[in-house]
Structure 1
Amino acid sequence: MIYIAAHKEFDVPRLENYVPLQVGAEGKERLGYLQDNTGDNISIKNQNFCELTGLYWIWKNTTDEYKGLVHYRRYFGKSNLSSKMTNVYTYDEMLGFLKGADIVLPYIEYFKQNAKEELLVECCTPEIFDELRRIVANMHPEYITAFDQYFAQNKSVLFNMMFCRAEIFDAYCEWLFSVLFELEKTVDLSKLNSYQKRLYGFLSERLLNVWLIKNNKKIRHVAIVNVEMPTKEKIVLLLRRMKHRYFS
């Protein structure tokens, strides 16, 4: 099953095995979708964990053979420049990608600076980053080489989107949330601005890369169909990505 994280009503694609999931549903008006505040959940943390409350819910409350997460405005598809639902991959097409790969992920993003510098500019403080590294080193020392390797490079998978077999999905979630819940004990969110308070969602985008490097998974990268972003803006982002890839 591929779950579509959403915090508001949207045009649900008429695609088999795509299911809308209301994230941050705790205390909010019901949208008529599955909700992330049932069963074992962290829905109340949505302000800081973003779509990770949906990721956690899928991990803890579903038994699908294959598990995926996309967003109400971002889907795996045939072109980064497209806004059409007709260019979104069907569930069967997504399954086909796994015949030659372990996991389906978005295209690779390239930064002007390395991943650590990009993160510090974007949403994180040096103190939080150092604490994150300390936690990884203490809890999962076998990951610290991959951690340092990832944050020294200028490329990354982003968006917290994936599709893979359940055992891979669940193994990643177990590792990810062990790190984030430990970090959560040390972070004073009151010192962060409203954007930075989405901290754990931002960090998880980067930590997925660390997990993938360590576990040496075979990846199929595909384009993202963003159904809301104007084409002009998509072209600007594409040109920026090419510039950073070849000239940074």
Structure 2
Amino acid sequence: MKNPIQMFCITLNPNHLQKIKSLNYLPVGLGDKKFSKEWYQDNINENISKKNEYYGEYTFHYWLWKNYLNKLEDGWIGFCQYRKFFVKEKTSIKINEIESLAKYVLQDIPEDFEKYDVILGDEFKVNKLKISKFIKRDLKKILTNPSLLFDKNKRNLKFHFDMWHGNGNLDKAISLLTNEDKKHFNDFVNNNTSFNPHNMFICKSKMIIQNYYNTIFPWLQKCEDIFGFNKNADYGGKRMYGFLAERFLSYWFQKNTKFKTLPILGLDINNL
């Protein structure tokens, strides 16, 4: 027996409505554009919608946490994006229409997944990036520790975050966690070279999502108090709260739930 998913699909484009609905997904509209009443939005009732350029999709997660999670029917609840989708298996077939995409995206939970609490995206390995990217990003850091070029295990999550989202910022953020998470998350980013990407996840129950939100948002608020908001930063610096959450998501769900991973298909529905 298969179990349906309440899958929220997040976009910035009101023109995506029919495409998202054709996948049997719930449309979520973020940003300043005008969305009809058919959309879930992050800018009504208690919200942090104005922080979207810094938080990304987490402005919707905040809205859901504060306003709507308790109204959802309990069961499998998930989150994807207009250009990132969970699929049952990897495919090399070229998809050029929304009807074809609907055949591949995850729309229900197979029976053998019922023993898991959470589905995450297949891991993304940060130490497999081309060396030239690291050198271009921060030559000085490489020169001070040349072994990074030859030992892939040293190019861990901590190193990668420092490179792309501000040197030392991850350490400062970790210092704001509760003692248990502080130690375990620090170990996670220093001992791992991969994470589950794109802030995408599917949970078996509302309680799991609630527990995650109850942990992530108070921490991000503490991070705001020391980092603030820098409109002049590059994308990796400006969207730092979303990237902090992305790394923490991998740690938290791996630590606290029984999880399985599935491939994530990168396909922008603007092109369909």
Shorter chain as denominator, the TM-score bin is 0.7 to 0.9
2:39 aligned partner, one-letter code: Y
CA RMSD between the two structures: 2.1
Partner of 1:181: helix, strand, or coil? helix
Map of 1:108 onto structure 2 = 123
Pair 1:220-2:228 in alignment: no
5+ long unaligned stretches in structure 2: 1-5, 96-100, 128-154
After superposition, the C-alpha distances for 1:80-138 in whole angstroms (9 at most, x for unaligned) are 44543310011x336x4641101011001112110001111122331x222202101xx
Note if contact 2:82-2:268 (Cα within 8 Å) is conserved in structure 1: no
Map of 2:166 onto structure 1 = 124
Pair 1:187-2:227 in alignment: yes
Note the C-alpha offset of 1:54: 1.4
Note if contact 2:56-2:242 (Cα within 8 Å) is conserved in structure 1: yes
Say which of 19, 22, 28 aligns to 2:33. Answer: 28
**Matched residues in 2 for 1:121 and 1:81: separation?**
32
Pair 1:207-2:212 in alignment: no
Note if contact 2:121-2:264 (Cα within 8 Å) is conserved in structure 1: yes
1:50-89 to 2 correspondence within 5 Å? 50-60=56-66, 61-62=68-69, 63-64=71-72, 65-66=74-75, 67-81=77-91, 83=95, 84-89=101-106
Identity over aligned pairs, percent: 26
Map of 2:145 onto structure 1 = none
1:151 aligned partner, one-letter code: V
Assess, with a 3 A threshold, how the Cα gap between structure 1 residues 129 and 81 changes in structure 2: closer, same or farther.
Answer: same
Say which of 93, 113, 121 aligns to 2:109. Answer: 93
**Matched residues in 2 for 1:36 and 1:125: separation?**
31
Note the C-alpha offset of 1:225: 2.1
Map of 1:135 onto structure 2 = 176
- Structure with higher Rg: it is 2
Assess, with a 3 A threshold, how the Cα gap between structure 1 residues 97 and 159 changes in structure 2: closer, same or farther.
Answer: farther
Note if contact 2:175-2:182 (Cα within 8 Å) is conserved in structure 1: no
**Matched residues in 2 for 1:211 and 1:19: separation?**
25
Say which of 176, 197, 200 aligns to 1:161. Answer: 200
Note the C-alpha offset of 1:188: 3.9
**Matched residues in 2 for 1:224 and 1:129: separation?**
26
Note the C-alpha offset of 1:207: 0.6
Partner of 1:220: helix, strand, or coil? strand
After superposition, the C-alpha distances for 1:128-180 in whole angstroms (9 at most, x for unaligned) are 222202101xxx11112321221011111111111111100111011001110
Note if contact 2:119-2:202 (Cα within 8 Å) is conserved in structure 1: yes
1:102 aligned partner, one-letter code: D
Note the C-alpha offset of 1:79: 3.3
Say which of 4, 8, 12 aligns to 2:20. Answer: 12
5+ long unaligned stretches in structure 1: 230-248
Note if contact 1:7-1:23 (Cα within 8 Å) is conserved in structure 2: yes
**Matched residues in 2 for 1:144 and 1:184: separation?**
17
Partner of 1:39: helix, strand, or coil? coil
Pair 1:172-2:178 in alignment: no
After superposition, the C-alpha distances for 1:201-246 in whole angstroms (9 at most, x for unaligned) are 111100112212442x1111001122239xxxxxxxxxxxxxxxxx
Assess, with a 3 A threshold, how the Cα gap between structure 1 residues 212 and 145 changes in structure 2: closer, same or farther.
Answer: farther
**Matched residues in 1 for 2:198 and 2:163: separation?**
17
